[in-house]
Chain A
Amino acid sequence: MRRPARVLAAACAASLIASSAYARDDYCRTKACDNHVGYDDVWQTEPDPPCDVDGDGCRLEGQPLYWPKSCLSFAVQQDGSRTQGIDFDTVHGVVEQAFTTWMSADCGEGQPPSMRVDDFSPATCDHPEYNSDQGNANVFMFRDNDWPHVDGEDTLALTTITYNRENAQIFDADVEINSYASTFTTTDEPGEIRDDLLAVLTHEAGHFLGLSHDGNSPATMYKQYSPGSITQRDLYESDIRGICEIYPPGEPVSQDECVPRHGYMRSCAVEQKSGCGISPEQAGNGRSAALVALVGLGLVLRRGRLGRRRLGT
């Protein structure tokens, strides 16, 4: 049975969480089960140690990836999708809604997951990257002009997570949306929905938060999407169990700004090196954010110190 996250009764959610400690983990966490440290031009031939998976392909071993300080930030790329006619404000609203859905999961007695999400939008960088010696941004971006991966027509979106091999802390996450080979819609009209952007990005936000695919076909984190469907806009029981167990309610959450590793950088690294970049402080000043209380969700969007929005506890 499907349960929209935002209307779950507290008692029902409490019951879910209470029982989950004894239930099979039907959600799946993204885990690092790294077998070899690779270096350019060195072929590794030692057999990989086992890294068992369950019947759905979910890793049973390895270190679960996680955001340090229960705190993450995202930035939506400023161009939106010109080919799909989706402007920045629209996609930004969709991404914000996707994270709100996860952060308003009822983990019992109305408590949300202990995770804070800061909004650093907009970003100018239009491709995924991780910079080990300068600022970063966790960017949601459309790919209008090309899809550089094999067989683009099979993939709606792709999340790349970069992490610290030593402790599984996430350094960076970027989401590429395949507008080159898909037709995204943002409407609620059933007959007009093609690839529903909110459903797709709620799924990708789940990856962003550290969840992998699970085997429950109604779940947001189910691996497949049926065109025209909005089912994955809302969380299923396994999604709620997953987010609430990764970020248990009541745990301390950093009160500092959720700055990406090495500081927020709105532009791509090459641009910064060539003098076209802007400093982290400059980056936050361009966007206004109103103080909005979402009554009933225990959730507040508020201006961060640098003019950024904040989601979650």
Chain B
Amino acid sequence: MLVVTAVAKRSSWQTIGGTRRIVTDTRVRVDELVSGMDPSTTELVVRTLGGVVGNVGQVVEGSAELTLGEQSLTFVTQLDTALFGVTAMGQGHYPIMTEARGRILRPNRQLPALVGGKPSAVETLRGRLLTESLALVRAERR
């Protein structure tokens, strides 16, 4: 789990699970390493589904969407040596917004895909202060 800022991105057609899809790779700067990563990590690439290549766009309901220049709390899963995905798609990405009471988390632009069973992390974390959210997650991981 990381606090990151998106610094660059590119979209391209890639084959995933036998399917040609548009994906967006976002290079993120690691602002704060919360847990579960090599402490020396300063930058990584996060892949999300959807994007635009030429005049063709693709939307995948539920996929996370990282915006350049925006800071977010992001849960990542390693896909390859240098490539990460957002854990549980849009449920694992929380843009950080500064308000009078501090830095708070808001839900991802693309709300989660239709999910079932478990209590939604989105409902738990949205609108919470970043510091409060980090404490909650760390406590959950202990």
* Residue pair A32, B57 in contact (C-beta under 8 Å): yes
Could you tell me if A149 and B89 are in contact, using CB atoms closer than 8 angstroms? Answer: yes
B127 → chain A closest CB, angstroms: 8
Contact of A38 among B10, B111, B118 (CB under 8 A): B10
- B10→A40 contact, CB < 8 A: yes
> Do A165 and B68 form a contact, CB below 8 Å, given A156-B115, A160-B21, A225-B115?
no
Contacts of B18 in A (CB 8 A): 127, 148
In this assembly, does A264 line the interface, its C-beta being within 8 Å of a C-beta of chain B? Answer: no
Which residues of A43-57 have CB atoms within 8 Å of chain B's CB atoms? 43-48, 51, 53, 55-57
Residues of A contacting B: mostly: loop
Q: Are A43 and B27 in contact (CB under 8 A)?
A: yes
**Which residues of chain A have C-beta atoms less than 8 A from B8's C-beta?**
43-45
> Judging by beta carbons under 8 Å apart, are B59 and A224 in contact?
no
With an 8 A cutoff between CB atoms, is A82 at the interface? no
Interchain CB contact (< 8 A) of B88 among A65, A154, A225: A154
B89 & A148 in contact (Cβ 8 Å cutoff): no
| Chain A residues, Cβ within 8 Å of B110 | 57, 212
Q: Is the CB of B57 within 8 A of A223?
A: no
Chain B residues touching A, range? 35 or more
In the complex formed, the residue of B with least CB distance to A228 is: B116
Q: Which of B18, B108, B113 has the most CB of A within 10 A?
A: B113
Find A161's partner among B59, B86, B88 (CB 8 Å cutoff): B59
The answer for the CA separation of A163 and B53 in the assembled complex, in Å, is 11
A161 touches B58 (CB 8 A): yes
With the chains together, A164 CA to B57 CA distance in Å? 6
Does A213 count as interface, using CB distance less than 8 angstroms? Answer: yes
**B59, A163: Cβ atoms under 8 Å?**
yes
Q: Is B117 an interface residue (CB 8 A)?
A: yes
Q: Which residue in B12, B20, B116, B120 is a CB contact (below 8 Å) of A156?
A: B116
Q: How close is A45's CB to chain B, nearest CB, in angstroms?
A: 5
- Minimum Cβ distance to chain A for residue B15 (Å): 10
The 5 closest A-B pairs by CB, nearest first: A148-B17, A38-B11, A150-B85, A57-B107, A43-B8
